[in-house]
């Protein structure tokens, strides 16, 4: 029952908000639904990790350990972004229609992501991931400017092309499995069970289409070009979800198909493609982060970098490479959602996303500036934050697993990213604020939930709780 209620809560909230006539009612429904979705997500994850996978609607919905991990990320970061959103939207958009559009599509976005990671059906997952594009494209253009319209158009076109490629890969996988599994070949469980007997040539071609298709949604280069525009134009709470959560939904779809490809072709085939995509993504991100002019685009290109690192972890394989990749998914989601929410405060304070026009952030907005500095240090992989540990595990797996030159090249590119990001952030933090700017943060109390992000990043950098290790190891078994 809880597995059915999980996606229905945000879907019902979206409908109620669309019918609401007062802003206060919208915000109340929005907040209660977000907390309810978080509670349902934690209950579903607890039941899965404490026993067997949950199944509902004759197997249409199914949540295993990997699904449970994604559900926790979606609902937790969805809840944190949701608590920040009312204050930000009140400050950024006066029009009631804009607020209604934002809150209704916010929950529709959450609904599509939850369906994508909690279904056993390949076709339903594909439709749900396409639904994430349709739910967010209007949010990218919520400011209704030339640049936001251009970003939304690019996002829609490239994501649609990517999802079309993923559809071709899905059809090819079904074609390869249908003789063995019959009509139930559209289910993950049946497809994975039949994987050893599939036609390897068809699976090889299918995986390439899958990598390009869902890799587009994941933000991998060279299919990444929608990401900097869309993330920089969307309202801050949506940017936080797109970068911290949506990219992980693309990752989820990719690793599901990787498990099938590994069982059919052996691990080396997918590993080579993933290492190539990861290294290319790192190189592209490093190039654009050396001299970045827009701080939201800077954070977006950092997402390209971290998706590349996750792909390297999957490509390096083994226990530590895959474990590090899953841990990095969590750490990146926590740090990137935190920084995009803080970017909303910076935008409200300075009225610009241009780095050269943001000066003296630590003086003008001490809380926002200090948190932005700490979040940046976490994002670039410095201890004692969690990304240091997950990156260490990933590159250690590469150095010890026969892909030393790829790991060394990846580390060199990470150093370039580190230098480029710190250079840009230093320009924002120090110096003298603009004349006449009052000291103080644009929003203060809405930032309180970010304490959860900081606390988890510190805990995951200093230790690995046994509960988390157990959950990740259960997810690893699903990925094999």
Residue 177 pLDDT: 77
CA separation for the pair 256, 259 (Å, rounded): 5
Q: Which of 282, 298, 144, 272 is nearest to 208 (CA)?
A: 272
Residue 134 CB neighbours (<10 A): 15
CA separation for the pair 308, 328 (Å, rounded): 11
Residue 475 pLDDT: 95
Main-chain phi, psi angles of 62, to 5 degrees: -155, 130
- Cβ density class 431-454: b for 16+ within 10 Å, e for less: eebeeeeeeebbbeebbebbeebb
**Which helix (H) or strand (E) element contains residue 78?**
helix 65-92
The answer to whether residues 417 and 285 touch, using CB atoms and an 8 Å cutoff, is yes
CA separation for the pair 312, 321 (Å, rounded): 8
**Which helix (H) or strand (E) element contains residue 61?**
strand 61-63
The answer to whether residues 401 and 317 touch, using CB atoms and an 8 Å cutoff, is yes
Cα separation values, 391 from 102, 305, 354, 457, Å:
35, 12, 30, 13
CA separation for the pair 386, 381 (Å, rounded): 8
Q: Which of 3, 90, 83, 100 is nearest to 43 (CA)?
A: 3
CA separation for the pair 434, 428 (Å, rounded): 12
Residues 206/207/213/214 CA torsion (nearest 10 deg): 140
Write the DSSP symbol of residue 271: H
For the chain, 480 residues long, give each residue's pLDDT as a single digit of tens.
789 999 999 999 999 999 988 999 999 999 999 999 999 999 999 999 988 899 998 888 999 999 999 999 999 999 999 999 999 999 988 888 899 999 999 999 999 999 999 999 999 999 999 999 999 999 999 988 999 999 999 999 999 999 999 999 999 988 887 766 555 557 888 888 888 888 899 999 999 999 999 999 999 999 999 999 999 999 999 999 999 999 999 999 999 999 999 999 998 999 999 999 999 999 999 999 998 899 999 999 999 999 999 999 999 999 999 999 999 999 999 999 999 999 999 999 999 999 999 999 999 999 999 999 999 999 999 999 999 999 999 999 999 988 999 999 999 999 999 999 999 999 999 988 988 888 888 888 999 999 999 999 999 999 999 999 999 999 999 988
**Which helix (H) or strand (E) element contains residue 54?**
strand 54-56
Residue 2 pLDDT: 87
Main-chain phi, psi angles of 408, to 5 degrees: -65, -45
Residue 322 CB neighbours (<10 A): 24
- Direct distance between the N- and C-terminal alpha carbons of the chain, in angstroms, rounded to an integer: 28
The answer, yes or no, to whether the previous bond of 222 is cis (omega within 30 of 0) is yes
The answer to whether residues 424 and 295 touch, using CB atoms and an 8 Å cutoff, is yes
Reported pTM: 0.96
CA separation for the pair 190, 274 (Å, rounded): 25
| 127-163: pLDDT as tens digits | 999 999 999 999 999 988 999 999 999 999 999 999 9
């Amino acid at each position: 029952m809880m597995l059915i209620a999980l996606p229905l809560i945000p879907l019902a909230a979206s409908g109620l908000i669309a019918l609401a006539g007062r802003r206060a009612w919208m915000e109340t429904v929005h907040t209660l639904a977000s907390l309810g979705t978080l509670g349902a997500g934690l209950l579903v994850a607890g039941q899965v990790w404490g026993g067997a996978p949950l199944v509902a609607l004759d197997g249409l919905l199914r949540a295993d350990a990997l699904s449970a991990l994604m559900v926790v990320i979606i609902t937790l970061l969805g809840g944190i972004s949701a608590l920040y959103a009312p204050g930000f939207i009140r400050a950024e958009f006066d029009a009631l229609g804009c607020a209604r559009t934002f809150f209704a599509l916010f929950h529709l976005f959450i609904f599509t992501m939850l369906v994508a990671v909690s279904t056993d059906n390949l076709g339903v997952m594909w439709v749900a991931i396409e639904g994430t594009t349709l739910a967010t494209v209007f949010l990218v253009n919520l400011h209704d400017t030339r640049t936001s319209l251009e970003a939304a158009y690019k996002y829609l076109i490239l994501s649609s092309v990517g999802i079309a490629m993923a559809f071709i890969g899905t059809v090819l996988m079904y074609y390869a499995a249908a003789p063995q599994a019959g009509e139930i070949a559209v289910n993950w469980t049946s497809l994975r069970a039949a994987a050893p007997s599939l036609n390897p040539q068809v699976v090889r071609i299918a995986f390439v289409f899958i990598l390009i298709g869902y890799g587009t949604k994941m933000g991998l280069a060279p299919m990444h070009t929608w990401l900097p525009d869309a993330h920089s134009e969307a309202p801050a709470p949506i940017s936080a979800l797109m970068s911290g959560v949506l990219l992980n939904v693309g990752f989820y779809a990719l690793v599901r198909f990787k498990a099938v490809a590994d069982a059919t072709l052996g691990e080396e085939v997918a590993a080579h493609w993933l290492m190539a995509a990861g290294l290319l993504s790192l190189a592209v991100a490093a190039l654009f982060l050396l001299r970045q002019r827009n701080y939201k685009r800077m954070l977006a290109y950092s997402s390209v970098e971290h998706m590349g690192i996750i792909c390297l972890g999957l490509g390096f394989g083994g226990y530590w490479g895959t474990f590090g990749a899953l841990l990095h998914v969590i750490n990146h989601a926590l740090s990137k959602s935190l920084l995009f929410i803080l970017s909303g405060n910076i935008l409200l304070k300075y009225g610009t996303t241009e780095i050269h026009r943001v000066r003296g952030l630590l003086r003008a907005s001490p809380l926002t500036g200090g948190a932005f500095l700490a979040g940046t240090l976490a994002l670039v992989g410095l201890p004692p934050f969690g990304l240091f540990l997950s990156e260490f595990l990933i590159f250690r797996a590469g150095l010890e697993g026969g892909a030393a030159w790829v790991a060394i090249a990846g580390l060199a590119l990470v150093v370039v990213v580190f230098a480029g990001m710190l250079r840009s952030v230093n320009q924002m933090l120090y110096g003298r604020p603009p004349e006449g700017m009052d000291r103080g943060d644009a929003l203060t109390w809405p930032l309180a939930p970010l304490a959860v992000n900081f606390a988890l990043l510190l805990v995951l950098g200093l230790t690995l709780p046994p509960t988390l290790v157990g959950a990740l190891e259960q997810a690893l078994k699903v990925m094999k």
